[in-house]
Amino acid sequence: MNLASWSPVRAEPDFNNLLRVLRREQPTRPTLFELFLNEPLFRFLVGAEADRIAARRPYGDKLLGMTAFRNAGYDYYTVRVPGLQFPSGAHDQKATISQNEGVMIRDRASFDAYPWPDPAVADYTVLDVLAREMPCGMKMVACGPGGVLENVTGLLGYENLCYLIADDEKLTADVFDAVGSRLLAFYERVVQHDAVGAIISNDDWGFKSQPLLPPDSLRRFVFPWHRRIVAAAHRAGKPAILHSCGNLASLMDEIIDDLGFDAKHSYEDSILPVEQAYAQYGSRIAIVGGIDVDFVCRATPEQLYQRSRAMLTLSNSRGYALGTGNSVPQYVPTENYLAMIRAATEGR
């Protein structure tokens, strides 16, 4: 597709289509799903109005993102609520950093001294502002400021966490509980908002070859908090999506049957191609996204369009929403991204 020929999707969003996907039902049309796009792509998708929208106060950046999601054909907008973060130490300003940087907690004294955030003072007014501006039929999907394991790793360092599990189980549990309880309180609040239609619990659990921690450690420290987050969403009548990178083959039964997630996001061809994931798990959990980001970057637009169409045909969109395997960073060629979404939006 010539970039100059692209135009916003004309049809109005309908969040019910994403709900049908998350319930493993068939939507009325092919449906898109993405965790994040990026600001240059936001501006391309919004066009001449981008500067005016971005300059609005408050939350011009989020209004810009919501408009871009709508123009691209999504039925929702992924939103992060400002003001809830787990402060960490200094990091190298690089695209890739060690999981051992920014350590803030080393022992009981530093745990007690850590400035734990209060979920009650996060800026939930962003949900009200976006709800007033949201196109009819659209809703928000709320995600957290990272997940339970991600934030604990950020506070302790990955190698330190592995040692601490063996050396001081009580302190390990206290750190996980301090993080998990705050994330749970956050999700318990956001799911009460009428304009929030679903949540994403975003927490990477794996390397390319295996989980980051032994399954027994995940069951002891991580899974109980995710189980409670999913339960909070379900009590509010809203689905819960797991975004988790890595090889989780040994955990999928628990993700589905124990934790109760409605959908799984994040796939890599080198771990489990989305076509295989759908064949293996699609009858038990919704599969969202999945077109490998490396493929999205390296393939031609036509190859990307054909694979996307084939995935929609394979699934008949039942329990499947089209998108990348992770997100759309700035290095993804815009013409490739447009070829992917065109597979779902052409004719709308």
- Give 71-113 as a DSSP string: HHT-SEEEEE-TT---------SSSS--TTSS---SSHHHHHH
b vs e for 56-73, b when ≥16 Cβ sit within 10 Å of the residue's Cβ? eeebeebbbbbbbbbbbb
Taking alpha carbons only, the member of 152, 81, 155 closest to residue 118 is 81
Task: Extract the tokens encoding 231.
Answer: 């339960």
Residue pair 158/100 in contact by the 8 Å Cβ criterion: yes
Given this model, what pLDDT does residue 91 score? 53
Residue pair 291/34 in contact by the 8 Å Cβ criterion: no
Taking alpha carbons only, the member of 198, 147, 204 closest to residue 321 is 198
Q: What's the farthest any 2 CA atoms get from each other in the chain?
A: 61
The DSSP bridge partners found for residue 242 are: 201, 264
Residues 6+ apart with CB under 8 A from 161: 152, 153, 172, 213
- Report the C-alpha gap between 288 and 17 in whole angstroms: 13
Task: Extract the tokens encoding 118.
Answer: 């209060």
Taking alpha carbons only, the member of 200, 206, 338 closest to residue 267 is 206
Domains and CATH numbers, the chain: 3-91+98-345 (3.20.20.210)
Taking alpha carbons only, the member of 317, 314, 270 closest to residue 292 is 270
Residues 6+ apart with CB under 8 A from 279: none
Given this model, what pLDDT does residue 158 score? 96
Given this model, what pLDDT does residue 5 score? 87
Task: Extract the tokens encoding 291.
Answer: 């077109």
Given this model, what pLDDT does residue 4 score? 85
DSSP label of 49:
G
pLDDT digits (tens, 9 = 90+) for 5-29: 899 999 999 999 999 999 999 999 9
Q: Report CA dihedral (189, 192, 197, 202) to the nearest 10 degrees.
A: 20
Positions in the chain short of pLDDT 70: 1, 90-101
Quick one: which H or E segment has residue 223?
Answer: helix 223-235
Terminal-to-terminal C-alpha distance of the chain: 16
